[in-house]
Amino acid sequence: MKNELIFSKKIVITAGPTREAIDPVRFISNHSTGKMGYAIAEYLYSLGAQVTVVSGPVNIKTTLPSSAIVNVVSADEMLETTQKFALDADVIIFSAAVADYKCEQIATQKIKKKENSLQLNLVPNVDIAFTISKNKREEQIFIGFALETENGIENAISKLRRKKFDSVVLNLQTEAGSGFGHDTNRIQIVNSDETIIPFEQKLKTEVAVDISNHIVHLLEEKSATIYYA
């Protein structure tokens, strides 16, 4: 079913993990499957949005056309591609689980096993959402994700302020059947006015509908504010 407000809106979604190379055959990554980001992208596409998924390495069967997906590997590549699409995006959804660190130097040859311990020098990765938020335009909507094991709401609000998110989807990872690798998720949506919308545990495809409906609501609010300002 097409939705008038979503129709032809340009929506960019970062999804999946990033991989940070150690040497030509090894990398640092995490357990993100990209299921949540892809589910949101597929639902918004079905409503008529122009969707671009900037995707880390995932193993997902998707109904999206290949033209809607740009594959990247590292955080630096994800930033470069997302920045390009961010220029004329109406909505950006930052669902990727970006690796927090990368190797200071990537070995050009396979690192050989030695008797003693191996030390890798890790340096912080670029923060994609924070970097892009510096050029956020008034009419753009940014949605962030937060996965917290303690002080969830407080941490979600501080991420929201720092990265200029309009809303943060807070994943309750500590609950059974929620978060990385599961087909279900329980979320709370935390808004910039600090209101919190709770949801039941549901299939990620159903959570995607809830998040998309929330985005439609934010678009309605924003278009009304900009029109009457």
Q: Is 30 a catalytic residue?
A: yes
Q: Is the dihedral of CA 70, 146, 203, 214 positive or negative?
A: negative
How is 140-182 classified by DSSP, letter by letter? -EEEEEEE-SSSHHHHHHHHHHHTT-SEEEEE-TTSTT-STT-
Q: Considering the complex, what minimum distance in angstroms separates the CB of residue 194 from ligand CTP?
A: 17
Q: Is 80 in the site for ligand CTP (CB under 6 A)?
A: no
Q: Considering the complex, what minimum distance in angstroms separates the CB of residue 227 from ligand CTP?
A: 29
Q: Find the binder of ligand CTP among 17, 145, 182, 215 (CB under 6 A).
A: 145
Q: Is 170 in the site for ligand CTP (CB under 6 A)?
A: no
Q: With contact defined as beta carbons under 8 Å apart, do 29 and 20 qualify? A: yes
Q: Is 94 in the site for ligand CTP (CB under 6 A)?
A: yes
Q: Considering the complex, what minimum distance in angstroms separates the CB of residue 113 from ligand CTP?
A: 31
User: Residue 63 and residue 38: Cα distance in Å, rounded?
Assistant: 9
Looking only at residues 192 through 211 of this chain, which bind ligand CTP when binding is defined by CB under 6 A? none
| Cβ distance to ligand CTP smaller for residue 31 or 226 | 31
Q: For 17, which DSSP code?
A: B
Active site residues: 30
